[in-house]
Amino acid sequence: MGGDYDEMWRGLGLDLPAHERLLELLGGYYREVYLSQADRPRAMAYLDAVMADIHGGRVRELQAARAEGRKVVGTFCVFVPEELVLAAGAACVGLCAGAEVGFAEAERLLPRNTCPLVKSFFGFRLARLCPFMAACDLLVGETTCDGKKKAYELLADLAPTYVMEVPQAKRSADRALFREEVRRLAEALEALTGRRITAEGLARAVRLVNRRRRALQRLARLRGADPAPISGRDALLVNQVAFYDDPERFTGAVEALCDELEARVAAGRGVAPAGTPRLLVAGAPMAVPNWKVPHVVEGAGAVIVGEESCIGERHTRDLVDEAAADLDALLDALVDRYLRIDCACFTPNDDRLDHVVEMVRRTRADGVVHFALQFCQPYAIEAARVRDRLDREGIPMLRIETDYSMEDVDALATRIEAFVETLG
Amino acid sequence: MGRRGVDAVGIDVGSRTVEVVAVAAGAVRVRRRAETAFDYLDQVRRMLSDLDFRSALATGYGRHLVAKELGIGAVTEIRAHAAGAAVLRPGARAVLDIGGQDTKAMTLGPGGRVLRFEMNDRCAAGTGRFFEVTAQSLGCPLEDFGALALSGADTVAISSMCTVFAETEVVALRSRGVPAADVARALVASVAGRAAAMLRRVGAAGEVVFTGGVARNRAMAEVLAGVAGLPVWVPPEPDFTGALGAALLAARPRPGKVDPVPPRDEAARNGPPGTRCGEPGG
Ligand code: SF4
Ligand code: SF4
């Protein structure tokens, strides 16, 4: 269906032949990972449609909004408060990138041993393959890990980029700093859109984003059933699409999916037989189309029942307090909520250990696959603390570190199969 | 030639060699090995052609394809080596397997259950392949490499685990006039150091059962014991441990023999879009 969008893509400066090949490969991989699954929930049809049209329909919506004077803001991390973007009248898209695309170009700027997430967003940009990034009027980065922090300095030469500071600890001085950064971002967004962020506007945005979070929380809870009503691949996809779909429509689709899953659970129907080994994946984000680990894990005869990850529960666990009355109180509520995020960039980060254990218990997982992207120090190093804690709780853990390439899938599969065998 | 009736067969399709072990009444009846052929499926069929068996399990990197084609089950090398080691050395609590292209360390619980394991990923650093290549650059046949290393002294160190870089180091040491025996010893020590680190990561304490083809190298066990500070035990036919374990697991009465994991097809290997599409000129 590329044809109808060519005009738009050309207008966004994409490299059309290369982009065409990308979509073909993506389509093939999607069929292999997703459409090959047996007994998928019918409501996943919405996600299939979104994926089939991944660079089309939603980009067209964003372009139409831009034609009416709305702005589009791209983000790379769950620390950037989406509510502010929406309250300023802009649309927000998450740009995390999960494909080994344009790495040759990216490596002209970045060291080879850079985390694939960072390399990927550069690759998409430099190889002119991401219509979402091209449609953004502003990219908002953050000072989380060093790789990203320094990469945004380079990105600023390629696209309008704004960087907000995220502290590395959660003491009162850090909170004050983040509070100030949230205010500064609000100003920058107002300057971009020419619209004031009002208490009513922000409260509305808070309610909208909370609704989406609640829908995703409901999905997370349903996965606690045995047999699991939905595969980990499908649930990951839902969490991935959450970052760029229209929030209102997406929330409706997730609620519909949950209704169907509820009926499945009541009927004792699942994607894998009851008693199938259940695993929690914990760690770094897996962005579209990085389905490598769930594909291998579920190919090894296990089912994934939760993602302790930014594309997963780190994004949906906490709600913003809706009771706040004025703008200042709303901004405080945002700060409180965002500082609860337990990213490995923080020190200390003990809350994360509690959350992993809590998720294992709630999802009734038999073990944890700790996932770090290659060259990601925060998660790779924190894995040792997660292991210690899980050891004490008697929860088995397998630690893996991998990137977006396919060269290690066989070795990865062997380790994951062996881990699954140890659970039996 | 008559066909031989046995209870169960284990087939270990490794990257360098294929081993077949057949057991009957709890004892090993047949042991066969061959270098892994390109068409290893056909090769496995030939290796089994005169055996009548009730059940079989495949292990090793070719396990899924063999399992699918023969309609049998599959287990990972990790489980197979654990099962083999637990029978060869009752009460074994730690196993190190160094095969042609990978290294695994594991700790075992009662009954040979795997408690924790580590495995190298991606490259063949510090495996059988490493010795094949470096022995060659020392001009020493692989069979004699262990004896050569045993006669050497600890005068030099090899710092690289990468097969290609280590070969360069060997060439440099040789040109400095370091005796071949000392270089061989250094190569063994570097692999042993890496294996010992893996054993530490899985929490091995007490005797280590050392399996896989590299365990045939007599120097390895000796140096490893020193580096790891743990006693090391090598079974008589260490490279058959995986096939033996698979055969023993196959001999157990267990339901649902068929491998639940389909062999990875090409699409999975090609993976997400990629590698090609962002390249210059694309
Ligand atoms: S892992 Fe940390 S830096 Fe990365 S997206 Fe999540 S919160 Fe942001
Ligand atoms: S995965 Fe790790 S290295 Fe990569 S961007 Fe996130 S925190 Fe940074």
A 67-126 residues with CB below 8 A of B?
Answer: 98-105, 123-124, 126
* pLDDT tens figures, A122-179: 999 999 999 999 999 999 999 999 999 999 999 999 999 999 999 999 999 999 999 9
Residue A80 exposure: Cα atoms within 13 Å on the Cβ side: 26
Q: How confident is the model at residue A3 (pLDDT cuts 50, 70, 90)?
A: low
Find the mean pLDDT for residues A80-89: 98
Find the mean pLDDT for residues A356-372: 98
* pLDDT tens figures, A201-210: 999 999 999 9
Find the mean pLDDT for residues A307-321: 97
Neighbour order of strands in the sheet with A278-283: A303-308, A278-283, A367-373, A397-402
A148 lines ligand 2 (CB under 6 A): yes
Nearest Cβ partner for B78 among A124, A408, A418: A418
Instruction: List chain B residues with CB under 8 Å of A102.
Output: 277-279
Find the mean pLDDT for residues A71-75: 98
H-helix or E-strand spanning residue A372: strand A367-373
Q: How confident is the model at residue A407 (pLDDT cuts 50, 70, 90)?
A: confident
Find the mean pLDDT for residues A414-420: 95
Asked if A101 lies within 8 A of B271 by C-beta distance, the reply is no
| Rounded CA separation A70/A359 (Å) | 39
What is the identity of the amino acid at A10? R
Share of chain A above pLDDT 90, in %: 96
Ranges of H-type helices in B11-92: 40-48, 63-70, 77-88
Q: How far is CA B81 from CA B57, B76, B214, in A?
A: 13, 9, 14
**Could you say which ligand is closest to the alpha carbon of residue A312?**
1
What does the pLDDT read at residue B258?
A: 57
What does the pLDDT read at residue B130?
A: 86
Q: How far is CA A111 from CA A147, A150, A375, in A?
A: 10, 12, 11
**Four-residue CA torsion sign, A264, A267, A271, A275:** positive
The dihedral over CA atoms of A307, A310, A313, A319, expressed in degrees to the nearest 10, equals: 180
Most B-contacting residue of A19, A54, A101, A113 (CB-CB within 10 A), to test interface: A101
Question: What is residue A370's three-state secondary structure?
Answer: strand
Specify the residue with its C-alpha closest to ligand 1, atom 4: A77
H-helix or E-strand spanning residue A402: strand A397-402
What does the pLDDT read at residue B1?
A: 57
What's the alpha-carbon Rg for chain B, to the nearest Å? 20
- What is the nearest CA distance from B276 to chain A, expressed in angstroms? 8
Question: What is residue B129's three-state secondary structure?
Answer: helix
**Cα angle vertex A140, ends A315, A100, to 5°?**
75
Instruction: List chain B residues with CB under 8 Å of A412.
Output: 121
* pLDDT tens figures, B59-68: 999 999 999 9
Asked if A421 lies within 8 A of B102 by C-beta distance, the reply is no
| Eight-class DSSP state of B159 | -
What is the identity of the amino acid at A120? S
Q: Does the predicted model carry a pTM greater than 0.80?
A: yes
What does the pLDDT read at residue B281?
A: 33
Q: Tens of pLDDT along chain B (282 residues)? A: 578 899 999 999 998 899 999 999 989 999 999 999 999 999 999 999 999 999 999 999 999 999 999 999 999 999 999 999 999 999 999 999 998 888 999 999 988 899 999 988 666 677 888 888 888 888 888 889 999 999 999 999 888 777 778 888 888 898 899 999 999 999 999 999 999 999 999 999 999 999 999 999 989 999 999 999 999 999 999 999 999 999 999 998 763 445 656 565 444 444 443 322 223 332
What does the pLDDT read at residue A149?
A: 95
What does the pLDDT read at residue A278?
A: 98
A343 lines ligand 1 (CB under 6 A): yes
pLDDT at A321 over 90: yes
Specify the residue with its C-alpha closest to ligand 2, atom 2: A376
What is the identity of the amino acid at A108? R
Instruction: Please provide the average confidence, as pLDDT, over all residues in chain A.
Output: 96
- Ligand 2, residues A76, A78, A113, A118: which to mutate, most atoms within 8 A of Cβ? A118
Centroid of ligand 2 to alpha carbon of A376 (angstroms): 5
Residue B265 exposure: Cα atoms within 13 Å on the Cβ side: 9
What is the identity of the amino acid at B270? N
Contact by Cβ (8 Å): A5, A263: no
What does the pLDDT read at residue A35?
A: 94
| Rounded CA separation B274/A108 (Å) | 17
What does the pLDDT read at residue B266?
A: 44
Specify the residue with its C-alpha closest to ligand 2, atom 3: A376
- What is the nearest CA distance from B84 to chain A, expressed in angstroms? 15
Find the mean pLDDT for residues A254-281: 97
Residue with more model confidence, B260 or A90: A90
**Cα angle vertex A99, ends A96, A104, to 5°?**
110
* pLDDT tens figures, A184-218: 999 999 999 999 999 999 999 999 999 999 999 99
**Cα angle vertex B170, ends B166, B174, to 5°?**
170
| Eight-class DSSP state of B182 | H
| Rounded CA separation B33/A122 (Å) | 50
Find the mean pLDDT for residues A259-263: 98
Contact by Cβ (8 Å): A295, B268: yes
- What is the nearest CA distance from A180 to chain B, expressed in angstroms? 39
Specify the residue with its C-alpha closest to ligand 2, atom 8: A145
pLDDT at A2 over 80: no
- Ligand 1, residues A76, A78, A145: which to mutate, most atoms within 8 A of Cβ? A78
What is the identity of the amino acid at A247? P
Share of chain A above pLDDT 70, in %: 99
Find the mean pLDDT for residues A87-103: 93
Q: Which atom of ligand 1 is nearest to the CA of A284?
A: 1
